[in-house]
Amino acid sequence: MNWDVIAENLPRYLEGAKLTLILTFASLGISFFLAIPLAFLRNSENAVLRYAVMAYTLVFRGTPLLVQLFLIYFGLAQFGMVRESVLWPWLSSPMVCVIAAFVLNTTAYSTEIFAGGLRHVPVGEIEAARAYGMSSLVQARRILIPAMLTRSLPLYGNEMIMMLHATSLASTVTLLEVTGVARNITLNYYIQFEPYVTAAAIYLTLTFVLVSAFQLVQKRWAGYLESRIG
């Protein structure tokens, strides 16, 4: 065991953890605002819109995130029209490609989670809003979205944790998040066990903090649902 190497490289692990959190919350933040309107379209009475969103979620939930990341980072570079476009400075960036792949993937999962929560909003709440004279937009803002989100919290919490763990794939396209730092140390110092155990401990700590914070949020905003069930 050579833990001195780990001690020497702790600042690198801290930088990797910082990048891990940036990737996690940037992806989740963007996808959150995309998934809400997509959830409404997923439950739309318009068959074209409903099946279009369903096709999107099917593709991105039905294929591995690593494959999606490679298609965006390596695959798009194959096409000359992409390399010559104004988007190439962005698409040639590992950070942009990773966030794009993560956003597309987690938005698909979040859309289905939110759509399921929307389907479980009691009909009585919707009818009461209509009887009160609320417009569709006001109903969505005051009734549907809050009710949808509170009912989706347990599943969405799991998606957040999965997204945190999925950031380890960023190391495959040269980003030095926690797993990337561990891999770099194994290559430079020819040790395998200590770097990855340290990475696992960091992920475990981040997961514990995230789960604890999410439990507080769930108790604060969705506690009334638990009391109903009890």
pTM (two decimals): 0.90
CA distance 200 to 181: 12
CB-based contact 34:206 (threshold 8 Å): no
CA distance 113 to 179: 28
Q: Which of 156, 176, 151, 167 is CA-nearest to residue 27?
A: 167
pLDDT digits (tens, 9 = 90+) for 172-224: 998 999 999 999 999 998 899 999 999 999 999 999 999 999 888 888 776 66
CA distance 88 to 94: 12
pLDDT on residue 131: 83
Q: Domain coordinates of the chain in residue numbers? A: 3-225
Q: Where are the alpha helices (DSSP H) in 43-79?
A: 47-62, 65-70
pLDDT digits (tens, 9 = 90+) for 146-173: 989 988 988 999 999 999 999 999 999 9
Please check the confidence at residue 59 and state whether its pLDDT lies above 70: yes
Segment among 84-98, 107-121, 124-138 with least mean pLDDT:
124-138
Q: 3-225, superfamily in CATH?
A: MetI-like (1.10.3720.10)
Please check the confidence at residue 122 and state whether its pLDDT lies above 90: no
**What length does the chain have?**
230
Token pair of 19 as six digits: 């990048």
CA distance 15 to 176: 8
How would residue 132 be classed by pLDDT, with cut points 50, 70 and 90?
confident
